[in-house]
Amino acid sequence: MTSSLLFHPYETVLVAADERNIVNFWNYEAGSKIASLDNSNMHATNANGPGGSGAGAPGAFAASASHARPSRTTAMAWINPDHNSLLATATDDGVARVWRAPCSGGTLAAAWKAMPNMAAGAPGAGMVMEWQQACCVVVCCCCCCC
């Protein structure tokens, strides 16, 4: 099942995140898949890295006993869509990521815990994110049923 969809404003690309938190990139005119990337937190082994430096697995925040479910992508936004587009993603556990060259498989540019009190699998829409290109600001908020 698809959890989030996003069209590129200038290219023939449709981005679809599924329930396993895999983000797929499709050329909708050709009907072909271009690339995919793993946007989940479950592939981490140690989010704090050696010595607790916060430099663990790229883009990952480790699963803990309180985070036994994989995260789900709840929002996506294009950053700088007219040239060298980046893709920003938000997950239902409050983690935001920015991916370089997403249509070519992507490499992680940045990741942070934007909403620290969110837990994966909580009822509601999860984290909602909006990129404001004119002022270069990302706005995140929680849409939860409490």
pLDDT at residue 39 above 50? yes
Query: Would you place residue 117 in the very low, low, confident or very high pLDDT band (cuts 50, 70, 90)?
Result: confident
Spell out the domains of the chain, with CATH numbers in brackets: 2-144 (2.130.10.10)
pTM reported for the whole predicted model: 0.74
The pLDDT value given to residue 142: 67
Could you give the percent of the chain with pLDDT greater than 70? 72
The pLDDT value given to residue 40: 81
Task: Pick from 13-17, 56-60, 102-106, 117-121 the range whose average pLDDT is largest.
Answer: 13-17
Each residue's pLDDT tens digit, 53-107: 333 444 444 444 444 567 788 899 999 998 899 999 988 888 899 999 999 989 9
- What lies within 8 Å, CB to CB, of 64 at 6+ separation is none
Q: How far apart are CA 56 and CA 68, in angstroms?
A: 19
The identity of residue 93, as a single letter, is D
